[in-house]
Homo-oligomer: A and B are copies of this chain.
Amino acid sequence: MIVKSFYISFIIALIFSQPAYGQLRKGFPAPSSIPNSEYPYINSDGKVTFRIKAPSAKTVQVMGRDRNIPFGEKPTDLIRGEDGVWTVTIPIKPGFHYYQLIIDGTPVNDSASKAYFGWGQYTSGLEIPNPKVDFDRVKKVPHGEVRERFYHSQVTGELRRVFVYTPPGYNADIQRRYPVLYLQHGAGENERAWTKQGKANFILDNLIYSRQAVPMIVVMDNGYARKPGVELPPDSWGNEAFGEVVIKDLIPLIDSQYRTIANRNYRAIAGLSMGGGQALEVGLNNLDKFSWVGGFSSLLKNVDVDKSYDRVFTNPVLANLKLNLLWLGCGIEDDFYSTNNQASKALTEAGINHLWIQTEGGHEWLVWRRYLRDFAQLLFR
């Protein structure tokens, strides 16, 4: 079962290239549009039409809210029709993108779209399916459950919420026990993001059905956590107590409530962006609990092998023995690329086995869905 992973550096090029929408392909409302809404509409040429009725407005614009500026650098003006309905059609690349409308200068959500928790608030989301891939679609395969669970944290003194994916078959075979992946969201999002924005449950359903991944439990907690009465430093993200929550609250909760294999060889942790940095911190600082660790486009400080991660890398032989997998991935268009590349270089120099996956793409959900797909296939084998 133990996988020894070695340093591999390669670029998966072309994977995230723009799709060639077939001319015969029909348009359709975006999957992120609310039920019975025709808009936002994805046209047969892949362009997206936005629409809002605002007869009294003087100006209406649409703007993206992602780092990778899928909507362009500046807001785009909608054009007013005689009926007070404003529309515009613009090219936007496939993926999941946050956006808002700007009505007379004030950013607001588009009530024709579903709202997702991102950017620290509920924000309109736009899902443009990539016609070249379907690993993140809902297919006619057995589906697992996504369970919402509330618990009282001993660490923070507050009520917290965690989502737990249990794989297809979990309810039927009541003797079987499963490995567990702890999977963290990024800054400004929350514990709901991996299943809503990220489609993690459908990705796992599909992988498990095709036997590309072993059936596993996936635990998605909130990455923000602070202790009561502790004054936060000025540059705090409010997530300083997260590691303690994982160790003292979460793992005991999950191992008592679910049929887990409660053993470091069957416990993984990964995350994206802020959550990637947290996954590396929590995983590498607790190798008695975790042996599979993944960072997706991680928010990292420069890695100093003599100091970082509780000095685990100062004994590379032991670290390599303890780590079944250390997986780092980042898009080459991502602002975080250079720190991740530095981390991989430092690990290589220290003789730490790891995978370093450089891909096309920026800081975006299409990349993270693919990383989950690729990472999950390596786990627990």
Contacts and interface: CB of A to CB of B under 8 A. Distances in A.
B105 A111 contact: no
B257 A106 contact: no
Contacts of A187: none
B104 A34 contact: no
A44 interface: no
Given A54-B106, A104-B103, A120 B34 contact: yes
A2 interface: no
A138 interface: yes
Contacts of A174: 174
A249 interface: no
B159 A138 contact: yes
Interface string A157-199: 0010000100000011010000000000000001000010000
B122 A150 contact: no
A35 B120 contact: yes
A57 B55 CA distance: 14
Give this chain's copy count: 2
Nearest to A37: B121
Nearest to A117: B34
Contact of A111 (B109, B112, B258): B109
A346 interface: no
24 contacts: A34-B117, A34-B120, A35-B120, A53-B106, A56-B104, A56-B105, A56-B106, A57-B104, A57-B105, A103-B103, A107-B111, A109-B109, A109-B122, A111-B121, A114-B122, A140-B152, A145-B148, A146-B147, A146-B149, A147-B147, A148-B195, A171-B258, A172-B256, A172-B257
